[in-house]
Amino acid sequence: MVTELYGKITIKPEIRLLGIDDSKLVKKDVLIIGTVFRGSHWMDGVMRTTITKDGMDGTEKLIDMIINSRHYRQVRAIILDGITYAGFNILNIKKLYTGTNIPVIVIMRKKPDFKKIKKALSNLAYPEERWKLLKSAGEIIDVFTRDPEKPIYIQCAGLQKKDAIKIVKMSSTRSNIPEPLRAAHLIATGVICGESKKRA
Amino acid sequence: MVTELYGKITIKPEIRLLGIDDSKLVKKDVLIIGTVFRGSHWMDGVMRTTITKDGMDGTEKLIDMIINSRHYRQVRAIILDGITYAGFNILNIKKLYTGTNIPVIVIMRKKPDFKKIKKALSNLAYPEERWKLLKSAGEIIDVFTRDPEKPIYIQCAGLQKKDAIKIVKMSSTRSNIPEPLRAAHLIATGVICGESKKRA
């Protein structure tokens, strides 16, 4: 198993986590918000970039945002909301890990419907490249966080599976997903739509 | 004392507070961010509007943002970072209170230098009107929050002084100012400048 190649990381309650979410697709350049949290406790910083709707620039733009942040050296894990941002701008989580040297954890509320996604990709440029990115994100693991009956699903790059699970459980204190991701979602939708909305 | 006219409000640990801050003046329409917190604990929502740099529309635009929010009926106090937003767009805190029916608490890190402000106002349209707004914000009260040696200063409208002090002390858990205001500042600067910066 690939993830077992990585050493164990120290997971303190105040571990710095970076949650990244996108906003609604109101124009070609889609706002991306990153929030730095100390564990699940408090927000320590906010960063932003834009990526192209249905583009191929997501991974590079995220790496740039992260390595140029004043929080860069403190962040111990990047938490993503799926790997499909800004329409179908699909992220390469292994490249995001090697480009930042920070482990990556992908959170999904539902298991991806690969059949449906493959069909959607056929209408875009570079369908095979995007498909490869999707399939390369690795094993999908069930994790029970706040809701004991409804798991979330994760994928990871650059850290052991058990460490990823520990970080996700520890930081999902107010909902079924990690706090940095919940906050990034509130901010991204609030800024673009005028007010944040709870997810369905 | 005017504030004693108001009844006592119930201050539970999870009282909903709305912190409002502005962003850097990069264009004529200045981004304003509001964050709704449950006490100092966690962010429950984000809202935004814009107001005009050095304009006179701040109070009206803030009232609109607040009364149209889905959090409107839950918010028990509005917390402002001074009353001078977006350059010299000075807020009328009594009108903000009567227009929303939510008490207002103004936070200042330093006592305002009225002499300096009066001079600056003389270069703008409506200097007397702005000056009246500034002077009408009422008594300035010292409050010690996290730092036992350095007070912050507050003004309030629509609630008793002792309730305002209680709310400010209770919600200033991570710095010398209430959490909703700290978060609103991080978001407003992060979104406009690319990354949030700590205050000097």
Cβ of residue B179 closer than 8 Å to a chain A Cβ = yes
| Per-residue pLDDT at B2 exceeds 70 | no
What is the pLDDT, as a whole number, of residue A199?
54
Residue-wise pLDDT tens digits, B46-103 = 999 999 999 999 999 999 999 999 999 999 999 999 999 999 999 999 999 999 999 9
CA distance B144 to B142: 7
CA distance A134 to A132: 5
Quote the distance between the C-alpha of residue B167 and its chain's center: 13
Mutate to test the interface with B, among A21, A43, A51, A193 (most CBs of B within 10 A): A43
Sequential pLDDT tens for chain A (200 residues): 444 568 778 888 899 999 999 999 889 999 999 999 998 889 999 999 999 999 999 999 999 999 999 999 999 999 999 999 999 999 999 999 999 999 999 999 999 999 999 999 999 999 999 999 999 999 999 999 999 999 999 999 999 999 999 999 999 999 999 999 999 999 999 999 998 765 54
What is the domain extent for residue A84?
15-186
Half-sphere exposure of B124 (CA within 13 A, CB side): 19
Give domain status of residue A112, yes or no.
yes
CA distance B33 to B17: 13
Residue-wise pLDDT tens digits, B162-198 = 999 999 999 999 999 999 999 999 999 999 999 876 5
CA distance B115 to A143: 60
Give domain status of residue B195, yes or no.
no
Q: Do B43 and A194 touch (CB under 8 A)?
A: no
What is the pLDDT, as a whole number, of residue A195?
86
Chain A CA closest to residue B40: A42
Give domain status of residue B85, yes or no.
yes
ipTM score of complex: 0.90
What is the pLDDT, as a whole number, of residue B197?
66
Give domain status of residue B75, yes or no.
yes
Question: Which residue in the set B45, B70, B194 is minimally distant from A186, CB to CB?
Answer: B45
For strands B104-108 and B75-81, give the pairing. parallel
Closest CA to A103 of A25, A171, A10: A10
Cβ of residue A186 closer than 8 Å to a chain B Cβ = yes
Cβ of residue B189 closer than 8 Å to a chain A Cβ = yes
> E strands within A13-72?
16-22, 29-38, 42-52
Give domain status of residue B200, yes or no.
no
Residue-wise pLDDT tens digits, B17-58 = 999 999 988 899 999 999 999 988 899 999 999 999 999 999
CA distance B63 to B65: 6
Give domain status of residue A198, yes or no.
no
At A84 the three-state DSSP class reads strand
Tally of domains in chain A: 1
CA distance B200 to B181: 15
For strands A104-108 and A152-157, give the pairing. antiparallel
Give domain status of residue A196, yes or no.
no
What is the pLDDT, as a whole number, of residue A2?
47
Q: Do B191 and A187 touch (CB under 8 A)?
A: yes
Q: What pTM, to 2 d.p., does this model score?
A: 0.92
CATH of the domain at A136: 3.30.2170.10
